[in-house]
Amino acid sequence: MTWLTPLAGIILAAATLPPLLALYILRLRRPKRTVASTLLWTRQVEDLRANSLFQRMRVSWLLVLQLLAIALVALALAQPQADLGLTESGRVVLLIDRSASMGVEDADGRTRLEQAKREAHDRVDALFGAGLFSQAPEVMVVTFAREATVLSPFSTIAARAHDAIDAIEPTDETTSLADALDLARSFMEVPNPDKQGAPKETGVTLELWSDGRIADLGQCVVKPGESVRYHPMGSPTARNAGIAGAGVSRLAGTPDDVAVFARIMNWNEAPLHSDVELWVDGALRAVLPKGVDVPAAGVDEARKAWLPGEVRVSFPSVTVKPDGIVEVRLVEADDQPADNRMAMVAAPAAAARVLLVGASAIVRGVVQALPVKSVDAVSAEEFTTRVAAEPTWIDAFDVVVLDGAAPAQLPAGRYLVLGGTVPMEGLNPYGEKTDVSMRSMQAAHPLLRFVNLDELGVARAVAYSPASDIETIVEGSDGPLIMTAARGGGQAVIVAFNPLDSNWPFQRGFVNFMANAVEYLAASGREAALPTITPGDTQAVRLPSGTRAVTLTSPKGRPQEIAVSDPSQLAVGPLRQAGVWSVRWQESGEERTRPIAVALQDPREGRVSTVEDLELGLETVRGVQGGDAARSALWPWLLLAAIAVLVLEWLVYLRKV
């Protein structure tokens, strides 16, 4: 129970109840009248008393009803609010989901995030509306999507919580609740500087506004002392289909022509038919002739899992200019428009300049056979000398092939490492393996296109224990064989063995791999590389030396100036909105633009139907429907009751008179 204006009620009661009681205690000053005899009056006499100022308080229905009426009016004036058990005391953490699925518009035209913010505002009002008789709780506001952010630490100031809720911006990121819980718990451990020496508070209420589509829900548990209130946002029947992935493949022979592939998923219970369009640089270039039929989502009996319906489509060749924007659009409207488009920045084919360091004849022969612009060759010692003297020397080359070379210093660049150990953070070489064969490989990776490693046999390879951010493309029988790593604005493809220590040079896949690697690294070097990044990622951009500032423009056209301290290592982001971002800068008096495509590529975020009950560890948290609408003002009912009591009092009075 919350009292908005308790003082007013107390004042009214104090001002009216004592006089009313006094009226009943004080005797009425009646005029005297002599009668022949009081004999006949005493039979229905009310008062037969001594002549004194005060009289004994007697039970009177009229008095009881009048006291009741005044009490009801005083209570109404105090404006009680029925919280119906919603008001918490102590600590409350407001966790608000701002992931891509929270951008779904439901029936009332508001997005789930807008509705969540509105309910959170109401909740803050309810928590801080306790008035004189209850202590305001400490409220913390955390928003989360791919990452969690504390917008307001524990505070007893309502305005701070309101401001924090207002500051929540929508994103197209995936959802991770575990980080948000960890973050909130870490703040609970921090002692309050205003309460030095106070006992540690353990109880906390976690108020969660989300649609329940949380990727890492299995990792979240409710700890002792925590209670969770889940406010499900949106509708359990929300519909969505979208583009889960897309790619661009350059066609041989016509460097400016590309083929476009897309993976379309349907998260609905019914099959979907939709048109699919291909737009290039804002112009419609192709439409699938018969549209696409995507099967319905459902439980896959074989895998014992709920899976969305999926279909892959491809567009024949389209011509794309360098840095052109290719966009696949799903025409069928649904509740989540963010994943109905996926943009990519096509990497234009351009001949690469290749530097061979200590290359063997076989490698040199293969590279020279590739459609590259130039091939230079230096020895390992010469490379070390030149780099030490002039670190920017290698910027003149798109790809550096280190064939067995192990230089002591490796400036940022794009490297194809064939055997040997290179000084790269996180690579962690620790010895040598012998007689290694291929165990698994990412066949879909661009590096392994048309590459078959089934027959690969490696006599001697460097043993690596790579860090988690280094991607293993080919896994050997006893460790990684081929890896990719992004370091310092550069890119490296590391082959753990010297091709001459294997049977690879005698296989067709070796030449294809070399071509893929040069193309991959060269495209990476021109920063129009595939794949498209996901929302929340940061994008490294290499700028010409001397660049001091760039302008980052969001997909919605909102520009933001960014100061550049190191042109070779500018990271922009995190880019939280799906779409095409652009980075502009001035170079030699001309404006240059670098587009960055960001797309929602997580199938889990595509399922937008609301989860009504959350499974947190072993605990099932039931959704609280209606938010704080259950908190209602009681004063109208009290006033009605007071009027009813007054009517009753009037009837009793009439009956007595």
Partner 1 sequence: MSGRADAPKTVDQLIDGPLMARLDALDVTSRKIFQGKVQGERRSRRRGQSVEFADFRPYVAGDDLRFVDWNIYGRLDRLFLKLFLEEEDLSLVLAIDCSGSMDWGTPNKFDYARRVAMALGYVGLVNHNRVSAFGFGGDGFHPLTGLRGRRRTRDLGQWLLDRTAAGDAGFDDAMRTIALGRQGRGVMIVLSDFLFRDGAEKGLRSVAGRGFDVYALQLIAPEERDPGMHGLTGDLRFIDSEDGAEVEMTITSKALEAYGQATIAHATALRDFCVRRGIVHVPVPTTTPVDELLLDYLRKRGLLR
Question: Which positions lie near partner 1, rule CB under 8 A?
Answer: 28, 30-49, 51, 656-657
Is the CB of residue 101 less than 8 Å from the CB of residue 239? no
- In the bound state with partner 1, the residue whose beta carbon lies nearer, of 34 and 196, is 34
Angstrom distance (rounded) from CA 169 to CA 576? 10
DSSP state of 391: G
Strands 490-495 and 549-553 turn out to be unpaired
Q: Which is nearer to partner 1, 51 or 196 (CB)?
A: 51
Minimum distance from residue 53 beta carbon to partner 1 (Å): 14
Q: Which is nearer to partner 1, 49 or 312 (CB)?
A: 49
Two tokens, residue 591: 């404006």
Residue number, 47 or 108, with CB nearest to partner 1 = 47
If the CB atoms of residues 39 and 59 are measured against partner 1, the closer one turns out to be: 39
**Residue 36 or 198 with smaller CB distance to partner 1:** 36
Quote the least distance from Cβ 61 to partner 1, whole Å. Answer: 15
Contact 96, 111 (CB under 8 A): no
d(CA 405, CA 384): 10
Q: 53 or 618, CB closer to partner 1?
A: 53
Q: Select 38 or 374, whichever has its Cβ closest to partner 1.
A: 38
Tokens linked to 239: 């519909």
Which residue lies nearer to partner 1 by CB, 48 or 283?
48
Residue 580, classified by CB atoms within 10 Å of its CB into exposed (0-12), middle (13-18) or buried (19+), is buried
Cβ 59 to partner 1 shortest distance, Å: 18
To partner 1, the closest distance from the beta carbon of 22 in angstroms equals 17
Element at 651 (helix H, strand E): helix 635-656
Task: Give the end-to-end CA distance of the chain in Å, rounded to a whole number.
Answer: 41
Q: Which is nearer to partner 1, 26 or 167 (CB)?
A: 26
Two tokens at 243?
């583009």
**Cβ of residue 648: shortest distance to partner 1, in angstroms?**
18
Q: Are 397 and 425 in contact (CB under 8 A)?
A: no
The label of the residue with tokens 């966009």 reads 327
Residue 196 makes CB contacts below 8 A (sequence gap 6+) with none
Q: Please say which residue, 49 or 195, places its beta carbon nearer to partner 1.
A: 49
**Closer CB to partner 1, residue 51 or residue 135?**
51
Distances (CA, A) of 234 to 103, 112, 413: 10, 6, 47
What is the b/e burial string over 60-87, where b = at least 16 CB atoms within 10 angstroms of the residue's CB?
Answer: eeebebbbbbbbbbbbbbbbbbebeebb
Which pair of structure tokens corresponds to residue 625? 């429907």
Minimum CB–partner distance for residue 29 and partner 1 (Å) = 9
The whole-angstrom separation of Cα 38 and Cα 198 is 76
Check the CA dihedral 642-645-651-653 and report its sign. negative
Answer yes or no: are the C-beta atoms of 518 and 354 closer than 8 Å: yes
Shortest Cβ distance from residue 118 to partner 1 (Å)?
A: 59
Dist. CA 121–CA 125, nearest whole Å = 6
Torsion from C-alpha of 586, 588, 590, 596, nearest 10 degrees: -50
Task: Give least dist CB 651 to partner 1, A.
Answer: 14
Q: How far is the CB of 645 from partner 1 (least distance, A)?
A: 22
Q: State the Cα–Cα distance between residues 138 and 155, nearest whole angstrom.
A: 5
Contacts of 142 (CB under 8 A, 6+ apart): 93, 94, 95, 96, 148, 149, 150, 151, 180, 183, 184
Asked if residues 311 and 276 have their Cβ atoms less than 8 Å apart, the reply is no
